[in-house]
Amino acid sequence: MTGLSAIELEDVVKEYLSHGEVVQAVKGVTLDIAEGEFFSLLGPSGCGKTTTMRMVAGFEAPTKGLVKLHGHDVTDVPPNKRDVNMVFQSYALFPHMSVWDNVAFGLKQRRTPQEEIRRRVGEMLEIVDLAGREKRRPREMSGGQQQRVALARALVNRPRALLLDEPLGALDLKLRQAMQIELKRIQREVGITFVYVTHDQNEALTMSDRIAVMNDGLVEQLARPRDIYERPATAFVAGFIGTSNLLAGTATGGEMKVRGGRVLVPGHDGEVSVTVRPEKIAIGQDEPGPELSGVRGTVAEVVYLGTYTSYSVSLADGADITVFRQNAHDSLAAAERGDPVWLSWQAQHSYVIGS
């Protein structure tokens, strides 16, 4: 990444005691998040992503390692002295204050002049489309509105970075999608670094500049969304992001033999694991040429999904391969349940996972 570093983590470890045993929630994470970047921490629950973010905010002190904000070591700085603000998972709005007082809280704490508070809170409520609702209490508002109050309450302080902990988790699908676009727009408008914690791969893929996929306290892969999707670094990433097909075997001379066919893995020899995305695979009746990977199987399931059809194909060795086929030209299925078929894909779409 180019540009200045907004947030740096250097080999950060977080241990805590649980029932007398030391548990490592974060096992050594190193990250360098650039100024103005939309950065996501993606992973299943318990992977350490929230703990990592809480160490950036200052709510947790790392057991080992350094946290730096804009080049300054803040490892021992309390949260109220850090120039980052957080949007909490359940919003954590102040229930006894009006929307206005919630949003003005940070500015008042910093003893901003009255006139400026009035102006900035007003502007911010305008941006999140809540003008005219200043006197409402949080519990009188819908989930989506509360979400926007939480966002405004953090952004009004113009932090150097905004930390968002699964901020859309409590919203229904439609609202969530609308807010994804909204968040991205706001991020572009204010131009500050967003660090986004989520377990939702779609959310991470659509919004992020870069994603760190976490599992079991470690970063499995740190890359742009396209690379995470197309070139997963580990079997975990391949399985966690989207649907993927995993094939394993022994390769000789750049070709891996499997029962009922072959997988081209140019430049690889020995034990290999290969992932192939479902939309890269073609399904047909004819055996493909030697320039393609080809495997024979039987269609076990056909599911029509509107823009595409999903085929589940059983191979001779019992593995199931999922294939997505766009319904671009006709709505006729390429094969029916029980049909013998050939699956084929180009060599470049066999992505070999580091063994």
Partner 1 sequence: MRRLTPYLLALPGWMWLAIFLVVPMVAMASVSLQTGNAYDGYAMTFSFSNYGDALGRYSTQLLRSLVYGALATAAMLLIGYPVAYWIAFKGGDRKSMYLFLLLLPFFVSFVLRTISWNFLLADNGILFGTLKDWGLLPDDFHVLATTLAVVGGLTYNFLPFMILPIYVALERVDPRVVEAAQDLYATRVGAFRRVVLPLSLPGVFAGVLMTFVPATADPINAQILGGTGNTMIGNNIQTEYLVNLDYPTASALSFTLMAVLLVGIFAYARALGTENVLEAAAR
Give the count of alpha carbons within 13 A of 105, CB side only. Answer: 20
Least Cα distance to 122 among 141, 106, 99, 91 occurs for 99
**Residues that contact partner 1, how many (by CB under 8 A):** 25
Total count of residues recorded for the chain: 355
Q: Which is nearer to partner 1, 157 or 215 (CB)?
A: 157
Shortest Å, Cβ 107 to partner 1: 9
Write down the least CB distance from residue 337 to partner 1, Å.
50
Query: Dihedral through CA 126, CA 132, CA 135, CA 136, nearest 10?
Result: -90
First to last CA, the chain: 27
Q: Considering only residues 278 through 337, tell me which ones interact with partner 1, judged by CB under 8 A.
A: none
54 residue type, one letter: R
Give the interface segment with partner 1, choosing from 153-161, 176-184, 187-195, 219-227 (CB under 8 A): 153-161
Task: Write out the binding residues for partner 1, residues 8-67 only, by CB under 8 A.
Answer: 57-59
**Half-sphere exposure of residue 222: CA atoms within 13 angstroms, side-chain side:** 10
**Of the candidates 110, 257, 259, 337, which one interacts with partner 1 according to CB under 8 A?**
110
d(CA 265, CA 258): 12
Q: Contact 235/273 with Cβ under 8 angstroms?
A: yes
Question: What residues between 203 and 242 interact with partner 1 by CB under 8 A?
Answer: none
Q: Which is nearer to partner 1, 138 or 225 (CB)?
A: 138
Q: How far is the CB of 114 from partner 1 (least distance, A)?
A: 17
Q: Is residue 85 at the binding interface for partner 1, with CB under 8 A as the rule?
A: yes
Report the alpha-carbon distance of residue 208 to residue 201 in Å, rounded: 10
Q: How far apart are CA 25 and CA 48, in angstroms?
A: 5
Q: 153 vs 277, which CB is nearer to partner 1?
A: 153
State yes or no: residue 92 binds partner 1 (CB under 8 A).
yes
Q: Tell me which residues touch partner 1 (CB under 8 A).
A: 57-59, 78-81, 85-86, 88-90, 92-96, 105-106, 109-110, 139, 153-154, 157
